[in-house]
Structures are given as structure tokens and as C-alpha cells.
């Protein structure tokens, strides 16, 4: 049976969540289904084209709230969905999820699923903002049949906020294929290409250059570290985003140009993990970090923050060294601790890899999504679903 499925993303930039969507689309394609992705991001469009996945830019769903533009996107998307019949609409991102679910509901799409890669509110949000965005999520929950959270932590939080009933909320933690982090060339060649000294330990951090990733605290930590660690070291930050210029200015202002490099988007991500002696991810909030799973799959020692999904993914801190978010001195101490203790670093690396294999493989994630798709399709055919309630 040919099943048509549309993933709605909007204009969000290519990142960890996009990789999950790509793999879901490839899974559907392999099953003989017809997957489409609604994205206006040119990088994601290129990735989809390279992988023979169809995409559309039928509606511009911007990240920022703009009532007139958002209403236009809702009208355009509703018309598109009424014209191009889909069996499943699977929405992603906060804005894409709100407009996409409403449009799919208006168009009477048989099965509507939303994945929460991260709520619009988070652990750094004020109580007022949490209540405001939770009320919006409760409204949007009426326009779909299942809501997927990418960590159990966020499912529990959603239930506490009464965003939806427990039966509508499903936790499917992110997963990763270890082949994603396989290097494409020998370590020596990678270090030479990046002009890294043979004797310099490499501290790697990856992600979108945005507030949530906390890179400014890593840079501040390096300023502390350079006064405490006498040996040369190199910090590599890979990614693009709106804070690129301000982070580069911070590096220059603190005199850290010899220590910290922003290398932009790096396609062969496995090469970076291959040369990394330590991975540092100073996130302020996450759904469930793909970068963290990459580091675990690479078998690298990891320092990250004590946010809820990181605690879950690292077995409550047994598989990584955790520090409070926004605490640059603590981050510097943790880096120095692992650089100075190879045995402890090796233990963390071993525990991280084992925990990844047991809980965060891509095979497990895709099987759970495929089962969910079948469940919502079967419910739609038998008309036993709860009409959005």
C-alpha cells in the first residue's frame, strides 16, 4: 500500500532535528511509502535532493511570530493539503507544529503526528513564559492524534503541564546510526587539514551557533583554562548560526584566537570526532541533543550540562562529567580534570559508548516511529481515534 507522508519543518535551519527527519523520510521510502518534506531552508533542501527525498516550499512558516504572515502560511498550507492528499502529516518545530497541525486538521488529514524536538519553553524560561507557551501547546494538541517527545524527561514535563493526555503523549528518544560518526580519512590527515599541532589536545564542540547551545560559556571557560593549563590545546567549534559574529568578537576580545576556532558547518562530522580528545557541550536547554549522541557513539569523553535531557541521556551523569549550565569556571575545572586524568576520561568514554549502544541506536528509534505510524493509520481506518480530544 502506498502511504503518502508529509513532514512539516518550515524555515528552521538544518541541524540535529533535520537529520532525524531525513532518516524518518528514508525509512518511509524504504518501506515503499512516498515521503515529502516541507522546508524552505536551502541547506536542508540540498540534503534532501542528494538523498532522493521530495520536498516542497509551498508555505513559508517563519520561526518568528507574525500574525499576518502566519495566517497566510496557514491558508496556503491548508489549500496545499486539500489539493495534495496525504495519509499522514508529521509536524516538527514549535511554529511548524502549530501551523502545520491546524492546517492538517482543517484539511481533514487522516493521521496527524507532532514531534517535540524541544518545546518553545525550556529550563531557562520564566514561569510566566512556561505557562504561556504551555497553553498554546494545549491548544495545538487538540489538532493531532499523537505527540512524540524525544526524551522521557519532556514527556513527563508535558504531563505535569497537562498539555495532553498520557495516551496521546509518546516518548521516542532520538537515535543515531554509528556510521554517521565514522571518519572519512586518517586522523593525521584530518589534523593536518585543520592545521592542528600534533601535540595539542583537541576539545570539540558542535551545534548551531545560537543562545541555547551556551558556546559563550565555553569560550569564557577557555579564558580561565589557559591560565591553569600550561600545555597547548585547541578548541574547535563547528556550526553556523546567528551568534557567529558575536562569538568571534568574544574570542578576539579575550585574546583566544590561538585557542578557539569557529570552523563553520563541517559536513564530515565523523572526522571531527576522530581527532577529538574531549567533547564539551555547554547547552542551556535541549530536546535530546544529537551532538551528545554523536559524541557517545564516537566513544569520546564528554562534558555537558545538568539539564533534564542530558541527565537522562548520560544515565544521570554516570556516562559523562556534568556541570551546571552558564557556569564557565565549573566548565573550565571539568575540562582541566579530564585533560589531566586520562584514566578517568577513558572510563567516561567507555560508559558513554555502552550506554549509547543499549539505549540510543537509530534502529530502535525508527522501529518505534514505524510502529506509531501503523498505529495512527489503523486508528484512522477504523475510525476509533479520539477526534483530537
Which tens digit of pLDDT belongs to each residue from 9-34? 988 878 778 889 999 999 999 999 99
pLDDT tens readout for residues 95-120: 899 999 999 999 999 999 999 999 99
Average pLDDT over residues 185-194: 93
Q: Do domains 4-175+362-382 and 178-359 have the same CATH topology?
A: yes
Distance CA 255, CA 233 (A): 14
Q: What is the CATH number of domain 4-175+362-382?
A: 3.40.50.2000
Collect contacts of 336-342 with beta carbons under 8 A, ≥24 apart.
336/225, 336/228, 336/229, 338/278, 338/301, 338/303, 339/201, 339/229, 339/233, 339/277, 339/278
DSSP codes of every residue in 51-65:
TT-EEE--S---SS-
Question: What is the model's pLDDT at position 383?
Answer: 64
Q: What percent of the chain has pLDDT over 70?
A: 98
Residues 110-164 pLDDT 10s: 999 999 999 999 999 999 999 999 999 999 999 999 999 999 999 999 999 999 9
| Spans of all domains in the chain | 4-175+362-382, 178-359
Among residues 330, 327, 276, the alpha carbon closest in space to that of 302 is found at: 276
Residue 219: pLDDT band by 50, 70, 90 thresholds? very high
Task: Over range 230-253, report the average pLDDT.
Answer: 94
pLDDT at 17 (0 to 100): 85
Give me the CATH code for the 178-359 domain, please.
Answer: 3.40.50.2000
Average pLDDT, the chain: 93
Residue with cell 509551498: 58
In the chain, what is the straight-line distance between the N-terminal and C-terminal CA atoms, in Å?
A: 29
Q: Give yes or no for residue 77 having a pLDDT over 50.
A: yes
Amino acid at each position: 500500500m502506498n502511504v503518502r507522508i508529509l513532514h512539516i519543518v518550515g524555515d528552521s535551519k538544518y541541524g540535529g532535528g533535520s537529520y532525524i527527519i531525513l532518516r524518518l523520510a528514508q525509512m518511509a521510502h524504504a518501506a515503499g511509502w512516498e515521503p515529502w518534506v516541507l522546508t524552505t531552508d536551502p541547506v536542508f533542501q540540498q540534503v534532501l535532493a542528494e538523498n532522493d527525498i521530495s520536498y516542497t516550499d509551498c508555505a513559508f512558516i517563519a520561526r518568528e511570530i507574525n500574525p499576518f504572515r502566519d495566517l497566510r502560511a496557514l491558508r496556503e498550507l491548508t489549500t496545499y493539503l486539500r489539493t495534495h492528499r496525504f495519509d499522514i502529516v508529521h509536524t516538527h518545530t514549535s511554529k511548524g507544529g502549530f501551523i502545520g497541525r491546524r492546517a492538517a486538521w482543517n484539511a481533514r488529514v487522516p493521521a496527524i503526528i507532532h514531534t517535540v524536538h524541544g518545546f518553545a519553553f525550556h529550563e531557562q524560561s520564566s514561569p510566566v513564559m512556561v505557562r504561556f507557551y504551555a497553553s498554546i501547546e494545549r491548544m495545538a494538541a487538540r489538532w493531532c492524534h499523537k505527540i512524540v517527545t524525544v526524551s522521557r524527561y519532556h514527556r513527563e514535563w508535558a504531563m505535569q503541564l497537562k498539555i495532553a493526555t498520557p495516551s496521546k503523549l509518546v516518548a521516542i528518544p532520538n537515535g543515531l546510526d554509528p556510521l554517521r560518526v565514522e571518519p572519512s580519512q586518517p586522523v593525521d590527515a584530518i589534523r593536518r587539514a585543520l592545521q592542528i599541532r600534533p601535540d595539542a589536545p583537541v576539545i570539540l564542540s558542535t551545534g548551531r551557533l545560537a543562545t541555547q547551545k551556551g558556546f559563550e560559556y565555553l569560550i569564557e571557560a577557555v579564558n580561565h583554562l589557559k591560565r591553569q593549563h600550561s600545555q597547548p590545546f585547541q578548541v574547535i567549534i563547528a556550526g553556523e548560526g546567528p551568534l557567529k559574529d558575536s562569538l568571534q568578537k568574544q574570542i578576539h576580545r579575550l585574546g583566544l584566537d590561538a585557542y578557539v576556532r569557529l570552523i563553520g558547518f563541517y559536513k564530515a562530522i565523523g572526522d571531527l570526532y576522530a581527532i577529538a580528545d574531549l567533547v564539551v557541550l555547554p547547552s542551556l536547554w535541549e530536546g535530546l541533543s544529537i551532538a551528545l549522541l554523536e559524541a557517545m557513539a564516537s566513544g569520546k569523553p564528554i562534558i555537558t550540562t545538568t539539564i533534564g535531557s542530558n541527565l537522562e541521556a548520560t544515565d544521570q551523569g554516570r556516562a559523562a562529567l556534568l556541570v551546571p549550565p552558564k557556569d564557565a569556571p565549573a566548565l573550565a575545572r571539568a575540562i582541566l580534570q579530564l585533560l589531566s586524568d586520562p584514566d578517568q576520561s577513558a572510563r567516561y568514554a567507555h560508559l558513554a559508548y555502552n550506554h549509547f549502544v543499549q539505549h540510543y541506536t537509530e534502529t530502535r528509534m525508527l522501529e518505534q516511529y514505524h510502529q506509531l505510524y501503523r498505529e495512527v493509520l489503523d486508528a484512522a481506518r477504523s475510525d476509533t481515534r479520539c477526534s483530537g480530544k
